[in-house]
Amino acid sequence: RCLALTTREHGQRRLLVPILDLANHAFVPSAFFSLATKTASGTAIRLQAARPLALGEEVTITYGEHTNAHFVQHYGFVPAGVNAF
């Protein structure tokens, strides 16, 4: 799965991020990812909780605001619940 990330310096980029690309989708995610440029090992992708999480709670990210047709074509599923897009 390819993740989209937008930065001021580079604009929108598509990235392959091993392990993070296994995260499930939620329209209201429990976490978000960003570019961390000043780490001990150089540039990295940072995953942060969007709110306090309960023990055992699933960590989710958003795949973006897409139609159901886009989700089924690109991700192989249609999200549960009402999709406003």
- Answer whether residue 82 shows pLDDT above 80: no
Contacts of 26 (CB under 8 A, 6+ apart): 60, 61, 62
pLDDT score at 54: 97
Residue with tokens 């605001």: 65
pLDDT score at 41: 80
pLDDT score at 40: 82
pLDDT score at 29: 94
Q: Contact 26/12 with Cβ under 8 angstroms?
A: no
Q: What's the pTM?
A: 0.77
Q: Contact 20/45 with Cβ under 8 angstroms?
A: yes
pLDDT score at 16: 86
pLDDT per residue over 5-50, tens digit each?
A: 888 887 888 888 888 888 899 989 999 998 888 788 888 889 999 9
pLDDT score at 13: 84
